């Protein structure tokens, strides 16, 4: 799968809902009900970050939920790309991009959403064929106004901004013509998962799924 083809797949995923939940799962028992709650709330595309020991097992479990499209986040190496593919991830997200990671995405036919934060990084990925990219860490590098400025000279690139975005700030990004969706962790708060309050998470997901764009 070429970078251009990967971006076509990534764009289709981004267009499924205005928000992609960014999930840190520390207890494998949370994986299945969490995925069910998010899908029930209208957010089918789920990013499980590879930051915990059970992340790959969580991807395997969540991939079994009807309607869920589960991917791996914080993919930093070819080894992680391979492990994510073997776990059933259907896309990969990275905070940046390296030649080795891009090669691994080709090898494993994995749609990659590579991260960029400067015009030079965006242009370098565009040269490779990536027309859909992650803008990270969005809030700390200028927020929606910075992304709007990047869209001026680089209108051919579409973004999924992630990093520090809240339900109140998401509309600022979603109103931009170069934003397909946002990534956010507010939809699955840790305390709700610990309590097993899956209805609360479904309610947050439903509200997020109805954000205008």
Written as tens digits, the pLDDT of the chain (213 aa) is 999 999 999 999 999 999 999 999 999 999 999 999 999 999 999 999 999 999 999 999 999 999 999 999 999 999 999 999 999 999 999 999 999 999 999 999 999 999 999 999 999 999 999 999 999 999 999 999 999 999 999 999 999 999 999 999 999 999 999 999 999 999 999 999 999 999 999 999 999 999 998
Burial of 155 (0-12, 13-18, 19+ CB in 10 A): exposed
Cα gap 132→123, rounded to integer Å: 12
Specify the 3-state DSSP secondary structure of 49: strand
What pLDDT is recorded for position 168?
Answer: 96
Neighbours of 139 (CB within 10 A): 17
Cα gap 2→167, rounded to integer Å: 34
What pLDDT is recorded for position 163?
Answer: 97
What pLDDT is recorded for position 70?
Answer: 98
Q: H or E segment at 116?
A: strand 115-116
pTM: 0.97
Backbone dihedral region of 143: left (phi > 0), alpha (psi from -120 to 50 degrees) or beta? left
Neighbours of 4 (CB within 10 A): 12
Report in angstroms the alpha-carbon separations of 40 from 45, 56, 140, 201, 211.
12, 22, 31, 10, 16
What pLDDT is recorded for position 194?
Answer: 96
Burial of 122 (0-12, 13-18, 19+ CB in 10 A): buried
Backbone dihedral region of 86: left (phi > 0), alpha (psi from -120 to 50 degrees) or beta? alpha
What pLDDT is recorded for position 161?
Answer: 98
What pLDDT is recorded for position 26?
Answer: 97
Report which of 61, 4, 77 is spatially closest to residue 29, judged by C-alpha positions: 61
What pLDDT is recorded for position 113?
Answer: 98
Helices (H), the chain: 3-14, 31-40, 55-62, 78-87, 99-107, 119-128, 143-151, 170-174, 190-195, 198-209
Cα gap 78→103, rounded to integer Å: 8
What residues are annotated to the active site?
Answer: 47, 134
């Amino acid at each position: 799968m070429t970078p251009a083809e990967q971006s076509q797949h990534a764009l289709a995923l981004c267009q499924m809902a205005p928000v992609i939940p960014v999930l840190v799962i520390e207890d494998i028992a949370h994986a299945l009900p969490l995925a069910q709650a998010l899908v029930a709330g209208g957010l089918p595309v789920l990013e499980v970050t590879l930051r915990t020991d059970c992340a790959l097992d969580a991807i395997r479990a969540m991939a079994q939920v009807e309607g869920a499209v589960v991917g791996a986040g914080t993919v930093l190496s070819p080894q992680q790309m391979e492990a994510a593919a073997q776990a059933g991830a259907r896309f990969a997200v990275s905070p940046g991009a390296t030649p080795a990671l891009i090669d691994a995405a080709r090898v494993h036919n994995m749609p990659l959403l590579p991260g960029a934060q400067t015009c030079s990084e965006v242009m370098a990925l565009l040269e490779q064929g990536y027309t859909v990219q992650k803008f990270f860490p969005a809030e700390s590098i200028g927020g929606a106004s910075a992304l709007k400025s990047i869209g001026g000279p680089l209108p051919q690139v579409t973004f999924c901004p992630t990093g520090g975005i809240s339900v109140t700030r998401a509309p600022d990004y979603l109103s931009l013509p170069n934003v397909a969706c946002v990534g956010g962790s507010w939809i699955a708060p840790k305390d709700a998962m610990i309590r097993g309050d899956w209805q609360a998470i479904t309610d947050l997901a439903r509200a997020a799924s109805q954000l205008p764009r």
